Amino acid sequence: MGDAQTAVALFGAAGYTGLELVKLLARHPGVRLACAASDGHAGKLVGELASGPDGLRFVTADEARRIAAGCSVALLAVPPEPAKALALALREAGVRVIDLSHAHRATAGAVYGLASLFAGEVAGAQLVANPGCYATAVITAAAPLVRHGLVGGELFVSAGSGVTGAGRTADEAMSLGEMYGEVRAYKVLRHQHVPEIELALGRVGAGVRVVLTTHLLPVARGIFATLTARLARPASSAELVARFREDYAGDPTVSIAETPEEVSLRRVVGTNACRIGVASDERGIVVVTAALDNLLKGAAGQAVENLNLMLGYPRMAGLEHLARHA
Amino acid sequence: MGDAQTAVALFGAAGYTGLELVKLLARHPGVRLACAASDGHAGKLVGELASGPDGLRFVTADEARRIAAGCSVALLAVPPEPAKALALALREAGVRVIDLSHAHRATAGAVYGLASLFAGEVAGAQLVANPGCYATAVITAAAPLVRHGLVGGELFVSAGSGVTGAGRTADEAMSLGEMYGEVRAYKVLRHQHVPEIELALGRVGAGVRVVLTTHLLPVARGIFATLTARLARPASSAELVARFREDYAGDPTVSIAETPEEVSLRRVVGTNACRIGVASDERGIVVVTAALDNLLKGAAGQAVENLNLMLGYPRMAGLEHLARHA
Amino acid sequence: MGDAQTAVALFGAAGYTGLELVKLLARHPGVRLACAASDGHAGKLVGELASGPDGLRFVTADEARRIAAGCSVALLAVPPEPAKALALALREAGVRVIDLSHAHRATAGAVYGLASLFAGEVAGAQLVANPGCYATAVITAAAPLVRHGLVGGELFVSAGSGVTGAGRTADEAMSLGEMYGEVRAYKVLRHQHVPEIELALGRVGAGVRVVLTTHLLPVARGIFATLTARLARPASSAELVARFREDYAGDPTVSIAETPEEVSLRRVVGTNACRIGVASDERGIVVVTAALDNLLKGAAGQAVENLNLMLGYPRMAGLEHLARHA
Amino acid sequence: MGDAQTAVALFGAAGYTGLELVKLLARHPGVRLACAASDGHAGKLVGELASGPDGLRFVTADEARRIAAGCSVALLAVPPEPAKALALALREAGVRVIDLSHAHRATAGAVYGLASLFAGEVAGAQLVANPGCYATAVITAAAPLVRHGLVGGELFVSAGSGVTGAGRTADEAMSLGEMYGEVRAYKVLRHQHVPEIELALGRVGAGVRVVLTTHLLPVARGIFATLTARLARPASSAELVARFREDYAGDPTVSIAETPEEVSLRRVVGTNACRIGVASDERGIVVVTAALDNLLKGAAGQAVENLNLMLGYPRMAGLEHLARHA
């Protein structure tokens, strides 16, 4: 990795994802966090909000743009509109960009940074669109089925997220008073993540139609997804587990459980893992469950994987201290 | 309702469902709780565990069988095996029985007590099989689709339950330490409730195949179910909402929301309501969400509905004090 | 109670406490909710937010003032500043007022509505200051100790509240993401409730100094308070339990447990009860625990008690449907 | 630290504390986990329950005793009775022992391993009694007050713990169904931890009497303690903060907040930190709040600190990957 650390700029540093990035980059052996931008917290010590580099203070986005011009890579943990503008300016300045918003996820100019599937493209990318948390869970869980032509008909996905998935904002609907004991569906049939998922799966195998229903769960962190479909051809649970294990052999972030029941949300929170279980029955139905931490594997952790791929570092550099499971 | 109260016997009175029945029957204007059986708590005042009738003490199951012989109806909130034996003995003694276990749910000799659909049969029944909590949610949510021939292909259901659904037992897996922030699937493709659901729906319309994945959620109470299917023919969201509202017009326990997103688990907990939302999209997909309190509408509350139907009382007698929503 | 129902006006109807009042008043046999004011929800059906009277819609505060002029009593569930102005105007119009804010809790012109202690004064009051939730728990728990001269030195109180105690607002700090697994102290040594508590206890016995530390707990509802003090003279646990039971004999809202450990927050939520336990040791220390639902006994429920006292209704009219315990 | 790793044996490896030790020791640069004993899980891969050393399997306690005889140190995460027997046998075999149970906390033959206060004695100890989680929080929070003679009268402590503090057992009372929304006090005035706390504080300054009330909180992990006392002499908040900071200057595990309100349970969970805040008022009252992770700083983390002190490693060896705060 050499002695010199690569300078990295971070925008949107005080959101939930931004703070996770601060913590991860502070421990990364090959990276130096050159600036952490947050207009709302500019001037404040980063260490007041997260275990970041000693003495580093938040700067304004304007100041961060000047600093970023001298960096190798910039990470954007900001909403889509500012992300578009920042990406344009930074790319013009020759800075490589990882955008964690959904601004570039369906655009031709960006590489889709699902690290387990498209590592090769990410390595040479100038602009990486970091996948969303639902998309990471669903694509990772569905890819082996799609690759081996196993999905007959639609892929029905029911998935739930902890409230940090909605970002760090003042919203009465997200208050503990409103969310205690609550479960509800949101964006039903409004498909925000579906095009991204269908596009990525279409590169793995024959096109599949995805029906995704997302839910808000009364937990702070994590995504749990349950995929169900009719099998295109008979495949036993054992065969499916074997296929999934082969497909993800050597992947440091994906592990395949013996059964769908073994996948536990609690045990992936705090890790960069995506845990997956698969089974089928005699009626030709397949069920896949998948769980990951929405702020790590579903956002900041995968962004660091992509950063490593871009810089030629080992994929798990800076991530190894995370628990493999709780 | 007359002055004389009908004597009712309760077995399994100290479990989660049993205690809900104690509380409901204590307020019921037409019913007198003649005995509350619990071998583990025999001798103890019922009022120590729940707001029951003053002075009533738990009795052993043996003692309760003697008392029950003089009752009109017995409610069984015990596991399936003792429920079978009790039902046999009580029926021989001429006592009508409501069995809340799954012992009689698929048997010819019992009426399936899904009160919103089969009220007529329940009225004259000697033995009522009270539906399970998942089954109540799924059947109530799916019945209009099935009745109007709208389901094309399988009905995919993803549903979650609070931990009281597993009963009141010492189980490390249900401890708050294990369940905090947890979500996991269980009994995947093992279909315990599926035959019950398919059987009931088969009486409403043409047979439909149900794929049910159940999950444990980190809440105490409630069932939330999300049903997804391909529509057999085009139907707009507005049309679906209208159909559902017509089908449940006048039902005091079912309410149809404007959209699937409006269905809130928290707002049905503590009520005897089943709240349902439905929508479709231009790709021909229909999504139905449903929520209910697993111990009330999913167990004790519906048992009281059935009791009322059997005794000729208004269906909501003894249930009106429950909040319509939180 | 007669046939004619007493007209009551409610201001601040869409907050957590306001909605509880809507639900309670809707079931009250002697009261008719003449208007429910909420500028933010004016025009909307009350029934969309809570089980209120059929067809009633929220009105603006201005409109409610006109309607209230024809009512016997107005309930103010608004912040202190508007409460002061409203109380002044309504009193001039001859309307009796129950103010649930802290605006009038330490003023000479108002009766302090701790219903278990000062029922006699409330009956004839024109303006009742409804006690705060912490104050209700602490005063009720401490009164027997103070009355019998048992407190030697300060009364140290550590108490925690669910997040609905902070009202229904958009506040990032109250989001489930921030509050999950969280406990923290607030307003330490800043005594907002202490004068109110010391004043009320000073009317029960010799003055006592109260040290109160309040905490935010990761639950939606409830207050749990632990009081500790040096005993002024020896008193066994049995003696203390007996004293507390004598003092609260006949009170329909206070129950004394066998021990402090028996007091359970979960079992008072949803009730209008204050549950109390007391014990002492051989070193001369006394510990009292108390629990109540902050929105019911700690706010809306006690307001209805006060309303009943003012109108000559039974103290629990409109409250009897609430569970005695969960 | 040299190349050779020190062999360490672990008993009670499959409990909550044991699994935390497995994870910490697996990453410790100077230590090799020679055996992980659990009769219940013997033969099973440790990695199925926690991120432990690859390939290590649980062994029976008998087998572990044989292996431990060749180790430098044994860690006992078992109940007090087996801990006594194991400590006796292992000490005879010349193995140094860290006992995490309370068996040796008040015995003359053991060094009390409150690492922040008694590091010097721990270094040379043959038998270390690792403090309990409540004791660690209370002693650390109270020590500066006691050292500087600031406590006038009793020290009143109200503290709460997450349910993992009760260990990993099947107990209906700890089920999420019973604990959801629950708070209750336990062991009131039964002082189990008080002698341990008073003994340790008596070595820091003049004896102080501690009144401790412990509570069960509806969270998985963490201890939050609130200490209140009359000051023996006037001391401003600023003075107290300064004293606390001086006393803990250089301590890698204790940090002093600006105010008691800043102490957040959520932010210490997952860390080896004890976070403390202190303030006083003009009435001469002092309040100290303290928070720590009951399984880390309150158990396994402090045990590793003690292990490091005994072996001459840096105190934070093997603990540095833990977040400083969340």
User: What DSSP character marks residue C49?
Assistant: T
> Which residues of chain A have a Cβ shorter than 8 Å from any chain D Cβ?
23, 27, 50-51, 180-181, 270, 321, 323-325
| C chain contacts of residue A219, beta-carbon cutoff 8 Å | 176, 180
The answer to whether the CB atoms of A23 and D323 lie below 8 A apart is yes
Contact A183 B217 (CB under 8 A): yes
Cα–Cα distance for residue pair A271/D181, rounded to 1 Å: 28
What confidence score (pLDDT) does residue C318 get? 94
Return the residue of A nearest to D16 by Cα: A326
Q: Which residues of B touch D15 (CB under 8 A)?
A: none
Q: List the strands of the sheet with D31-37, edge to edge.
A: D58-59, D31-37, D6-11, D73-76, D96-99, D127-129, D111-112
Q: How many CB pairs below 8 A link B and C?
A: 17
D198 — pLDDT class (breaks 50, 70, 90)? very high
**Interface probe with C: pick from A168, A175, A178, A182, most Cβ of C within 10 Å:** A175
Of A163, A172, A177, the CB nearest to C177: A163
pLDDT band at B191 (very low <50, low <70, confident <90, very high): confident
Angle at C134 between CA C290 and CA D157, to 5 degrees: 60
Q: Sort out which chain C residues have CB atoms less than 8 A from B323's CB and list them.
A: 23, 51
Per DSSP, the three-state class of B36 is strand
* Closest residue, chain A, to B163 (C-alpha): A181
Measured in residues, chain B has a length of: 326
Please say if the pLDDT value at position D39 is more than 70. yes
Q: Do A188 and B219 touch (CB under 8 A)?
A: no
**Residues of chain A whose C-beta is under 8 A from some C-beta in C?**
16, 162-164, 168-172, 174-177, 179-181, 218-221
Please answer yes or no on whether A265 and B183 come within 8 Å at the CB atom: yes
Enumerate residues 6+ apart whose C-beta is below 8 A from D54.
D47
pLDDT higher than 50, residue D326 = no
Tell me the mean pLDDT per 10 residues along chain C, length 326: 80 95 94 96 91 87 97 97 97 97 92 97 97 97 98 97 84 90 94 90 94 96 98 98 98 96 95 97 97 97 98 95 63
Interface contact B174-D169, CB threshold 8 A: no
Q: Quick one: closest CA in A to D322, which residue? A: A321
Determine the distance in angstroms separating the CA of A116 from the nearest CA of chain C, rounded to an integer.
28
Subunit contact B219:D168, Cβ cutoff 8 A:
no
Has C133 been annotated as catalytic? Answer: yes
Rounded distance between C-alpha atoms, residue C52 and residue A12, angstroms: 44
Subunit contact C177:A172, Cβ cutoff 8 A: no
pLDDT at position D166 over 50: yes
**Nearest chain A alpha carbon to B229:** A156
Residue of D nearest to A269 (CA): D270
Residues B30, B316 contacting (CB under 8 angstroms) = no
Residue C310's pLDDT is 98
Question: Is D8 a residue whose pLDDT tops 50?
Answer: yes
Joined tokens for residue C241? 């339990």
Asked if B170's CB is within 8 angstroms of D171's CB, the reply is yes
Q: What would the two tokens of residue B69 be?
A: 């012989």
Chain A residues close to D51, C-beta within 8 Å: 323-325
Q: Where are the alpha helices (DSSP H) in chain A?
A: 16-27, 61-68, 80-92, 115-123, 133-147, 176-179, 194-202, 237-247, 265-268, 301-311
Catalytic residue numbers of A? 133
Residue of D nearest to C237 (CA): D189
Q: Which residues of D touch A270 (CB under 8 A)?
A: 270
Q: CA of D1 to nearest chain C CA: how many angstroms apart?
A: 37
Reported as a single tens digit per residue, the pLDDT across A87-124 is: 999 999 999 999 999 999 988 899 999 999 999 999 99
Q: What percentage of chain A exceeds 90 in pLDDT?
A: 88
The chains found to touch D (3+ Cβ pairs under 8 angstroms) are A, B, C
- Residue A174 clears pLDDT 70, i.e. is over it: yes
Residues from chain B that touch D14, judged by Cβ atoms under 8 A, are none
Closest Cα partner for D135 from D222, D195, D75, D185? D195
Q: For residue range D281-324, what is the model confidence (pLDDT) as tens digits?
A: 999 999 999 999 999 999 999 999 999 999 999 999 999 888 65
Q: Do B156 and A259 touch (CB under 8 A)?
A: no
Residue where the block lists tokens 């490896």? D13
- At B128, the pLDDT band (50, 70, 90 cuts) reads very high
Q: Is the pLDDT of residue A53 over 50?
A: yes
A175·C163 Cβ contact <8 A: yes
Evaluate if residue A19 carries a pLDDT over 80. yes
Q: B325 pLDDT exceeds 70?
A: no
Amino acid identity for residue A312 in this structure: G
Interchain CB distance below 8 Å, D51 and A323: yes
Report how many Cβ contacts below 8 Å link chain B to chain D.
61
Distance from CA of A156 to the nearest CA of B (A): 7
Q: What is the ipTM of this complex?
A: 0.95
Give pLDDT tens digits for D235-276. Answer: 999 999 999 999 999 999 999 999 999 999 999 999 999 999
Angle between helices D237-247 and D133-147 (to 10 degrees): 110
Among B166, B183, B148, which residue's Cα sits nearest to residue B295?
A: B166
For residues A278 and A241, the answer to whether their CB atoms sit within 8 Å is yes
Could C177 and A162 be called an inter-chain contact, meaning their C-beta atoms sit closer than 8 Å? yes
Report whether pLDDT(A47) > 90. Answer: no
CA C311 – CA C5 distance, rounded (Å): 11
CB-based contact D51 A321, cutoff 8 Å: no
The pLDDT of residue D57 is above 90: yes
**Which residues of D sit within 8 Å Cβ distance of B?**
16, 162-164, 166, 168-172, 174-177, 179-181, 218-220
Best B163, B211, B259 member to test A by mutation, with max A CBs in 10 Å, is B211
- Judging contacts by C-beta atoms under 8 Å, the chain A residues touching residue D181 are 180-181
- Backbone angles phi and psi of D217, in degrees to 5: -110, 150
Neighboring chain A residues of B261 at a CB cutoff of 8 Å: 184-188
pLDDT at residue D192 tops 90: no
Reply yes or no on whether the pLDDT at D55 is more than 90. no
Cβ pair A154:B230 closer than 8 A: yes
Cα angle B24-B97-B223, degrees, rounded to a multiple of 5: 50
pLDDT for B106:
85
Three-state secondary-structure class, residue C214: strand
Binned at pLDDT 50, 70 and 90, residue D50 comes out as confident
More confident position, A310 or D107: A310
Tell me the C-alpha distance between B300 and B23, whole Å: 10
Mean pLDDT over the full length of chain D: 94
Helix (H) or strand (E) holding C238: helix C237-247
Nearest Cα residue in chain C from B220: C266
Q: What was the pLDDT predicted at A323?
A: 64
The DSSP H or E segment spanning B64 is helix B61-68
HSE-up of A127 (CA within 13 Å, CB side)?
Answer: 22
CB < 8 Å to A219, chain B: 181-183, 218
Of D209, D266, D287, the CB nearest to C182: D266
Best of C163, C168, C176 to substitute, by most chain A Cβ atoms within 10 angstroms, is C176
Best mutation target, C266, C269, C286, C288, to test chain D (most D CBs within 10 A): C266
What order do you get walking across the sheet with A274-280 strand by strand? A184-186, A210-216, A151-161, A223-231, A285-292, A274-280, A254-256
The whole-angstrom separation of Cα B228 and Cα B290 is 12
Least confident of A188-197, C223-232, D55-64: A188-197
**In terms of C-beta density within 10 A (0-12 exposed, 13-18 middle, 19 or more buried), how is residue A199 classed?**
middle
D chain contacts of residue C213, beta-carbon cutoff 8 Å: 158, 226, 228, 260, 287
Q: How far is CA B74 from the centre of its chain?
A: 17
At D70 the three-state DSSP class reads coil
Structure tokens at B309: 């139907």
* Nearest alpha carbon to residue C198 among C285, C281, C139, C131: C139
CB contact under 8 A, C23 and B323: yes
Kindly state the average pLDDT of the residues B104-120: 95
Q: Could A168 and C163 be called an inter-chain contact, meaning their C-beta atoms sit closer than 8 Å? A: no
Please tell me the predicted confidence (pLDDT) of residue D1: 43
Residue that wins the pLDDT comparison between C248 and A173: C248
D193 falls in which pLDDT band (50, 70, 90)?
confident
Residues of B in Cβ contact (< 8 Å) with D16: 177
